[in-house]
Amino acid sequence: MDPYKHRPSSSHSSPFFTTNSGAPVWNNNSSLTVGSRGPILLEDYHLLEKLAQFDRERIPERVVHARGVSAKGFFEVTHDISHLTCADFLRAPGVQTPVIVRFSTVVHERASPETLRDPRGFAVKFYTREGNFDLVGNNMPVFFIRDGIKFPDMVHAFKPNPKSNIQENWRILDFFSHLPESLHMFTFLFDDVGVPQDYRHMEGFGVHAYTLINKSGKAHYVKFHWKPTCGVKCLLEDDCVAVGGANHSHATKDLYDSIAAGSYPEWKLFIQTMDPEHEDRFDFDPLDVTKTWPEDIFPLQPVGRMVLNKNIDNFFTESEQLAFCPAIVVPGIHYSDDKLLQTRIFSYADTQRHRLGPNYLMLPVNAPKCAHHNNHHDGFMNFIHRDEEVNYFPSRFDTVRHAERFPIPPRICTGIREKCVIEKENNFKQPGERYRSFDPERQERFICRWVTALSDPRATHEIRNIWINYWSQCDKSLGEKLASRLNIKPSL
Ligand code: HEM
Ligand SMILES: *[C@@H]1O[C@H](CO)[C@@H](O)[C@H](O)[C@H]1NC(C)=O
Ligand SMILES: *[C@@H]1O[C@H](CO)[C@@H](O)[C@H](O)[C@H]1NC(C)=O
Ligand SMILES: *[C@@H]1O[C@H](CO)[C@@H](O)[C@H](O)[C@H]1NC(C)=O
Ligand SMILES: CC(=O)N[C@H]1CO[C@H](CO)[C@@H](O)[C@@H]1O
């Protein structure tokens, strides 16, 4: 059975026009008027219905990641990790699970160009036999901030100036001058990977540490990595002008055309794992979303592959109405105490109730493909017909029982209530290492992008100094180069 098929749909079409309620329309060319010159009668129900539907054709765009595109395919396990997790869809090599993936840009509106410097979203929904698992990641392995209370401010700084409706560097530099934890993410955003060539040639990352738990209840922290088999490719500034000048949907077109031509994009999934008992051994906090885990200590372990072999049939129902949420996990996979991840657990379902309505999980693209049941129901746009009489629990008439218990992280949580910053901030080491790993041309491009940003006339002397100071703490020569290009005496 095609899981995407639902009624009413084009397969139930009639050869003539009807009203939404199915009555034939004998004329859809002209409004119903008194005489040939009007006025129009309110009883022209078909006209009113047609206009009213049109008036509501758009739903609010996503508050972030508004611009994007999705595609369908499957995930296949290639390596046994059942000693790490009891997740059913990871139970053995060869097991396949249907997926839908949405790629996106972050800051700008639904129809914005796809050549802008911006992180790219990389969200995967696995339709498993034990419910959906949403791995809602990005193409960069870290994030700008580590506490979700700053997320709305961060988005406001990146979004257009509310007065001019233009994205302005001075606002971004001003905001992040208070947040040196963002430096590591900026070594990705202002690097070449800040503009991927298209969605096929980019990596994906779960970004946060999650937790895998096996049948015996043993937990491991885990980080997820997607590697494209066709390699990573980026657009440099001149390429952006060439590609974007003629074509503001080049990445959407590239994905659609590749799949339509049978050249299916593929990613390999790798994990890094860490025993939670070892979490204090490092000079960084492994649950800090601004840090990567060094691959020499935590090697990438192969898990599976994902192939996108089917384009969506309808952009609205399978991309606009698609809803991902990091809270959506399955037995064997759990969150971690990463504060940013914990905030996301609330925010996604909340925005989706606003964006799509309280029953958004009933929409075919979001609904689980496995049998499911509970007594949360009704509200606006309920479209499931329920015929039971017992919609409460417990009941002597209801045969539904609790599922078998599955293991959750065994860690004991204690502590006093606090509002504070994590202990091991270590904001400068990893960005410095990353900058030094670039070859000289790549370092030069990175510097040029910073010089351009810091040259914004509204970036004050104080703001420029703070940034030069920050980059000097990451790498002394980087700070010096920025200072000399900007004609500023370094304060360090
Ligand atoms: C506390 C921090 C964050 C908050 C509050 C937040 C909030 C949101 C919201 C409200 C949306 C729109 C969802 C919708 O309308 O369906 C969204 C989309 C998205 N976010 Fe976040 N976000 C946060 C951090 C992150 C991080 C760290 C990542 C990457 C790991 C990320 C990746 C995404 C992606 C990929 C989407 C688009 C999903 C899609 O394609 O529909 N976000 N975020
Ligand atoms: C509606 O308009 C089309 C062309 O615009 C015409 O061919 C058709 O006969 C019209 N139908 C009616 C019922 O007026
Ligand atoms: C769970 O992990 C522990 C520790 O790695 C291991 O000793 C145990 O055998 C694992 N259990 C299963 C069911 O794989
Ligand atoms: C837009 O980009 C796509 C994908 O790279 C390409 O096939 C197409 O020819 C481009 N169109 C223009 C007008 O440049
Ligand atoms: C049933 C009917 O009248 N259909 C017409 C609706 O309008 C379009 C465009 O004017 C015509 O092509 C249809 O024949």
**And the tokens for 15?**
């050869």
Q: Is the CB of 13 under 6 A from ligand 2?
A: no
Q: For ligand 3, what atom is nearest to the CA of residue 215?
A: 13
At 7 the pLDDT is 60
So what's the architecture of 1-57 in CATH? Irregular (4.10)
Question: Rounded to whole angstroms, how far apart are CA atoms 163 and 429?
Answer: 37
28 within ligand 5 shell (Cβ under 6 A)? yes
Q: Is the dihedral of CA 205, 210, 213, 218 positive or negative?
A: positive
Pocket flag, ligand 3, residue 218 (CB < 6 Å): yes
Average predicted confidence (pLDDT) for the chain: 94
Residue 302 to residue 76: CA distance in whole angstroms: 12
Tell whether the model's pLDDT for residue 23 goes beyond 90: no
Q: How far is CA 353 from the centre of its chain?
A: 17
Smallest CA-to-CA distance from 332 within 145, 84, 48 is with 84
21 has pLDDT over 90: no
Q: Which ligand is nearest to the CA of 83?
A: 3
Check residue 244 and give its pLDDT: 83
Residue bearing the CA closest to ligand 3, atom 12: 83
Is residue 3 over pLDDT 70?
no
User: Is the CB of 14 inside a 6 Å radius of any atom of ligand 5?
Assistant: no
pLDDT greater than 80 at residue 420: yes
Q: What is the pLDDT of residues 66-100, one digit of tens each?
A: 999 999 999 999 999 999 999 999 999 999 999 99
Out of 349-363, 397-411, 476-490, pick the least confident: 397-411
132 is catalytic: no
Which among 46, 108, 132, 138 is annotated as catalytic? Answer: 138
- Cα–Cα dist 141/204, whole Å: 8
Q: Which of 27, 29, 33 to mutate to test the pocket of ligand 2 (most atoms within 8 A of CB)?
A: 29
Q: Once rounded to an integer, what is the mean pLDDT over residues 483-488?
A: 94
Q: Is the pLDDT of residue 340 over 70?
A: yes
**214 in catalytic set:** no
CATH of domain 68-362: 2.40.180.10
The bound ligand whose nearest atom lies closest to the alpha carbon of 24 is 5
Of the bound ligands, which one is closest to the alpha carbon of residue 25?
Answer: 5
> Is 490's pLDDT higher than 70?
no
pLDDT on residue 6? 53
Ligand 5 atom nearest the C-alpha of 25 is 1
pLDDT band at 147 (very low <50, low <70, confident <90, very high): very high
pLDDT at 2 over 60: no
Mean pLDDT of 207-219: 98
Higher model confidence: residue 269 or residue 57? 269
17 CA to middle of ligand 1, Å? 40
Mean pLDDT within 137-161: 97
Q: How far is the CA of 26 from the centre of ligand 5 (A)?
A: 9
Phi-psi region at 198: left, alpha or beta (left = phi > 0; alpha = psi -120 to 50): beta
What is the tens place of the pLDDT at every residue in 424-447? 999 999 999 999 999 999 999 999
* DSSP state letters, 202-238: --EE--S-EEEE-TT--EEEEEEEEEETT---B--HH
* Verdict on whether the full-model pTM lies above 0.85: yes
Closest CA to 233 of 193, 265, 273: 193
Q: Is the CB of 263 under 6 A from ligand 5?
A: no
* pLDDT band for position 135 (cuts 50, 70, 90): very high
- Encoded tokens for 317: 């129902």
State pLDDT tens for residues 237-273.
Answer: 999 988 988 888 999 999 999 999 999 999 999 999 9
Residue 214 CA: which ligand 3 atom is closest?
A: 1
Burial class (CB in 10 A: 0-12, 13-18, 19+), 122: buried
pLDDT the model gives residue 489: 76
Alpha carbon nearest to ligand 1 atom 6, residue = 344
Look at residue 129 and give its three-state secondary structure: coil
Supply the pLDDT for residue 17. 86
| Domain-wise residue ranges, the chain | 1-57, 68-362, 438-486
| Cα 25 from chain centroid (whole Å) | 43
Q: How far is the CA of 379 from the centre of ligand 5 (A)?
A: 37
Report which protein residue has its CA nearest ligand 4's atom 3: 250
Ligand nearest to the CA of 212: 3
The rounded Å distance from CA 24 to ligand 2 centre is 15
pLDDT in tens, 98-124: 999 999 999 999 999 999 999 999 999
Binding site: which residues?
Answer: 348
